[in-house]
Amino acid sequence: MPWKDNEGGPWGSKGGANGGPKSNNGGNPWGSSGGGTGGGNFDDIIKNAQNKVKSILPGGKKGFILIAIVVFALWMVSGFYTVGPEEQGVVLRFGKYIETSQPGLNYHLPAPIEKVTVVVVTTTRNIEVGFRKGVDRGGQSLMRNIDDESLMLTGDENIVDVNFVVQWYVGDAADFLFNVRSPERNIKDGAESVMREIMGRTNIEFALSEGREQIRQEGQEMLQEMLDSYNAGVLISSLLMQRVDPPQTVIDDYRDVQRARADKERFINEAEAYANRIVPEARGEASKLIAESEGYKAQVIARADGAAQRFISVYNEYVNAKEVTKKRIYLETMEEVMRNTEKIIIDDASGRGVIPYLPLPELKKRSSSNQSGEVR
C-alpha cells in the first residue's frame, strides 16, 4: 500500500488501538486525545464549541440570552405590514385561511407561522370576448376578430358576430384566491357561455336592432349569478357590447336586405300617416255636410209648417168673415207692395195744374238695374 511507509495510513502516523490514524494530539483529527474508541469524544467537541462561543460573546450566558431576545424581538416586529387603500390582505396560518385584513397598518405572526397575500380589489379589469386589441408596428391600434368566440347561433338559426367586453373587480379576496383556480379564465368562459345562451333564444332582427341593451343587461345578471354560485369573489361592474353584426362574408347582402326592409317600413308608415290624415278630414267633412243638410231640412220643414199654419188660420178667418178677410188681405198686400216702391202723393189742393207725366225711359232704366241686381 502506498501509505505503509508512513506507518499508519495517509495521516502519517501509526494507528491507535483500533487501527485508526494517530497524530500528535492523541490519535484523532479533531484535536482531542484519542480514547479506546478511536473516533474522539463528542462531549469534548461540544465543550470546544462552547468555549469558542464564550470567547465571541462577552458576558457568557447572559450575552447569549440578550442576543436571543434581540433576534426574537426583530422576528416579532417583522410581522407588521401595510395594506393599500385599493387592496385586501389574506392571512394564512400554516396554510389555513384565518382572516382578511383591511387597508391600513396590520399585524400577523411572522413567518413561517403566518403568511399574508395582498390582493388588489378595487381596480377594474377588462376581459375581451370575441376579439383582441393590439398595436401594429406603426403604433396604430388594431382589433383582431376571434371567430371561435364571436360567431354565435341565434334562435331563428342565423349566425351573428358578437364582440363584447366584461369589466370586473375582486369583491372578496379570500374567495378570489382559494375557491377558483383560474378566475380570469372562468370569467371569460362563463361570459361566452352566457352570451351563447341568450343569443340561442333571440331572433337576429331583435339582436341587431333594439335588443342590444336588453341582451347586455341580461348577460351581466346571468354572469354574476354564475360566478356567485362558484363563490368566485368576483363582481361584474359592466358588460359592454362592442359589436353585434352578421358575419363579414354576408354582411353586405344582409345590409341590402335591411335597407329594403327599411324602405318597406317607411312606405307603410307614410301610407298610414296619409290615411290617418285624410280619413279624419273626410269624416269631418261628411259630418259637416250631414249637419248642414239636417239644419236645412229642419228649416224648410219649419217654414212649411209655419206657412201651412198661417194659411189655415187665414182660411178659418175667411170662412167666418169673408168680406172682412178679403179687405184685410187686400190692405196687407197693398201695404207690402207700396212699402217697396217710390211714391209721390199729391192732394187735391196742391195738385192743381200738375201735368200727369209718366217717365217711361226712367222707369225702364230703373227696372233694368233692379233686374241686374237680382241676378247678382
Question: Could you read off the pLDDT of 130-164 as tens digits, one per residue?
Answer: 988 877 777 777 878 888 888 999 988 888 899 99
Position 209 confidence tier, pLDDT thresholds 50, 70, 90:
confident
Question: Could you read off the pLDDT of 212-229 as tens digits, one per residue?
Answer: 899 999 999 999 999 999
Report phi then psi at 195, rounded to 5. -65, -40
Burial 41-57 (b: 16+ CB within 10 A, else e): eeeeeeeeeeeeeeeee
**pTM of the predicted structure, to 2 decimals:** 0.51
Rounded to whole angstroms, how far apart are CA atoms 85 and 103?
Answer: 5
pLDDT, residue 135, reads 74
pLDDT, residue 189, reads 93
Question: Could you read off the pLDDT of 77-129 as tens digits, one per residue?
Answer: 777 877 878 888 888 888 888 888 888 787 877 888 888 888 888 889 999 99
Position 59 confidence tier, pLDDT thresholds 50, 70, 90:
low
Q: What is the CATH number of domain 125-249?
A: 3.30.479.30
**Number of CB atoms found within 10 A of residue 143's CB:** 12
> Is pLDDT of 366 > 70?
no
Residues 6+ apart with CB under 8 A from 345: none
pLDDT, residue 355, reads 64
Please confirm whether the linkage preceding 246 is cis (ω < 30° from 0): no
> Is pLDDT of 294 > 60?
yes
Q: What percent of the chain has pLDDT over 90?
A: 24
Position 34 confidence tier, pLDDT thresholds 50, 70, 90:
very low
Query: Domain residues of the chain, as ranges?
Result: 4-75, 79-120, 125-249, 252-331
Question: Could you read off the pLDDT of 320-331 as tens digits, one per residue?
Answer: 888 888 888 888
Q: How confident is the model over 354-366, as a mean pLDDT?
A: 65
